[in-house]
Structure formats: C-alpha cells, structure tokens
Copies of this chain bind each other. A is one copy, B any other.
C-alpha cells in the first residue's frame, strides 16, 4: 500500500485549533522531518501504524516505554485482570506492595520504593529526598543532561515561563569528567545535597558517550566523602542495559535511583528506589498525585518485572540492536556514507559524518519512514524484546533503499528550516 498522510494532515489541522501549536512536548513532530506522522492508530509487538494505516517497524518504542513489545500478552492479561477489580480506588491495592517487593528484590541498591507517574515526578522527588536527608541545598547535574520538565530541570534551551530562582541551587558539571565534578563539589563545599547522573551520556543531537568509569567511581567517592546523595537517573536507560540499576555494571550502588518509562511496559508509572539510609528522609517529605496509587499500572509493573527477572528479554533486545547496527553499517558503507552509531546497540543514536546541520540524517530518516522503518534523526532510539530477525531485515531493506535515494539527492539537500533554532543553540554552546 502506498504511503500516505491524508488523515494525519486533517488531524493536524484540527489539532491546531484546540492544542497550542498543534502539539507540545517530546512527541511533537515540530522538529522532525515534515513527513513524520503526528498521530498513531495502533501498535503491536515492534510495529506501529499511524492514522493513515502506514505500518512501521518501530525503533522509538514510544520513547522507551515499550520494552517487551506493544500489547505483550502477559502484560495485557495482568492489566485486564486488575482492571476488572479496580484501578484508582481510595487507597492502593495489595499489588503495590508486591511491586515494591519485586523492585527491592531485583535492584541491588534498593531497600525501598516509592511510585509516582512522570519521570519528572521521580527526579523531583529524589531531589527533595536528598535535600531532606542532607539538609543542604545544592544539586549537581551534568550540562545538557535531561532530567525532566519541571522548572528546576527543564532544558536550559527551553526555559520560557521559568524564573532564575527555580534553579537557584542547581549547578552544572561536565558529564564523564571527574575533575569537573570534583571542582564543582569543592565550590559548593558543605552544601551539596546530591549529584545527579544519567547511566551514560544520551543527550539529543549528539553522539552518545559510554560511561567513563573514572567519573562514575569519582561520583561515588565524592558523595561518600561529603555525605551528598548519589542519584542515578535510570528513567531512560533502565532495564535496557541491565536487570539491575545501570551503574551496577560497574559495581556502583547509588543512594537513590529514578525509574520510569518501561518498567510497566507502557503503563503510566515511575519510581524512586532508595538505600536504607535515605528511608527516613523519604518518609518525611510530602509528595502525592491523584493517580499515583492506581492499581493497573502496578499490576503491569509486577508482570514486567517478572519477565525482566525470568526471561531473556535483555539478550533478545541486545541481539536485535547489534544486528541492526551491523546491518546499517554495512549498507551505509556500500552507499558511501559514514554513520556514527553511538551508545549501546539497544539504545542506538545514528548520526552522519559530515552532516553538521543534520540535513543528510533528516533526509535519510524521512526516506526510511516512507519505506516502513521508524527511526529518529536526533534522539536516541530504543529496541524492544519484540524485535525479531524478520523485523530487523525489513528495517534494513528500508534503510538500504533510503541510502540509495539520499545518495542520489544529497547534493540538492537544503538546510532543515525547523532546525534553525537548534543549530543556533548548539553553535552558542
């Protein structure tokens, strides 16, 4: 069936009337190639269908939440069973205790769990717990690391409507640079409440960077020396690098970790996990939300954590990522392109050499899209356990046709207008 976007266009027109700018947040297509669909109709396994019924092998996984496959049968069964009993009630269901117990059993640093809805809820809660525990103020975060969209952490390029006091005690260090972190620690000596760290560097519009072990060990040591709280923000990468907290791969236990996106396979729930010394501070803060205690996402979480513990989901999504990476590298070379495929294969970032304003990458992902593979031109992508060899083969065929087309038209490509503010921001840095 020919690729079309008739319904999507009509919906965009309607959305423009009733949603500011037509859409907002990370799922707005405003900065994507013009052909990307804004609206989706259904999803199953590793496939998605947009509202024009175009089918794609999906490498975004809803920006992470799809870990086991959309509509994973066992997770859907857990959802249906809980829904038939109750979801948002006057208090939690017993499934909340089971979910917390599973986290404590499966994540080695965790002695307790608190659940919320957004990733931002989890990072904000971790910040508040760290301040309550230390009775200090300063929060150290890496430049450009994404920790959510509350005024204290909204990306510095997108601060409309915030005030300087929102981040009065937030200070910035260079990710992966132990000296930068140590210098910043010293500058705020005696007042550092917490150090935030992502599992590895996964900033948008950039090559991903593996975690520097020296930096990670320095972060743990500096927190131990000063009493600051080490917080690993595993919201984006959690359970795609390990069945435990991502820094467990280096043998490092954070004091708090933040989780979200995928641990209920797409159901809305996030979490803060903590070690024993943080428990008392966590008990004293006030946090809540209308739907934080709803049972259905927790039931989905229990089943997802069960599969995380008991199945080879991780090996499957790693294998799918590796075969995608190898196949793309080979096809790119054959067409004369030099790809930079960075980050873990299960969370790939794909950028092109000699493409400073992303015009080649934009053209390529747009062509892949029309050929049935949904890649992202500037955000890291995600594999799921439902990506099988046939799906990867289809995606590689789409990629191959896209390389072929872009090779022909490369000389005619102009700058991407919707990226102008981004290019300007990146140049200023």
Which residues of A are at the interface with B, using a C-beta cutoff of 8 A?
7, 11, 14-15, 17-21, 23-27, 29, 37-44, 48, 51, 58, 60, 62-66, 70-71, 76, 79, 83, 85-94, 96-97, 100-101, 103-104, 111-114, 117-121, 124, 127-133, 137, 149-152, 154-155, 158-163, 165-166, 168-169, 235, 260-261, 266-268, 270, 274, 279-294, 297, 374
Instruction: List residues of chain B with CB within 8 A of the CB of A283.
Output: 20-21, 24
- CA–CA, A270 to B64, complex, Å? 22
Q: Give min CB distance, A298 to chain B, whole Å.
A: 12
Cβ-neighbour of A118 out of B160, B279, B286, B289 (below 8 A): B289
Contact B91 A38 (CB under 8 A): yes
Instruction: List residues of chain B with CB within 8 A of the CB of A14.
Output: 97, 101
- CA–CA, A282 to B87, complex, Å? 32
Cβ-neighbour of A114 out of B24, B60, B162 (below 8 A): B24
Instruction: List residues of chain B with CB within 8 A of the CB of A76.
Output: 83
Contact A284 B48 (CB under 8 A): no
Instruction: List residues of chain B with CB within 8 A of the CB of A163.
Output: 131, 137, 168-169
- Taken together, the copies of this chain in the complex come to 2
Q: Give min CB distance, A344 to chain B, whole Å.
A: 20
- CA–CA, A55 to B304, complex, Å? 31
Instruction: List residues of chain B with CB within 8 A of the CB of A11.
Output: 94, 97
* Chain B residue nearest to A15 in the complex (CB): B97
**Chain B CB within 10 Å, residue with most, of A63, A90, A97, A155:** A90
Contact B286 A160 (CB under 8 A): yes
* Chain B residue nearest to A21 in the complex (CB): B283
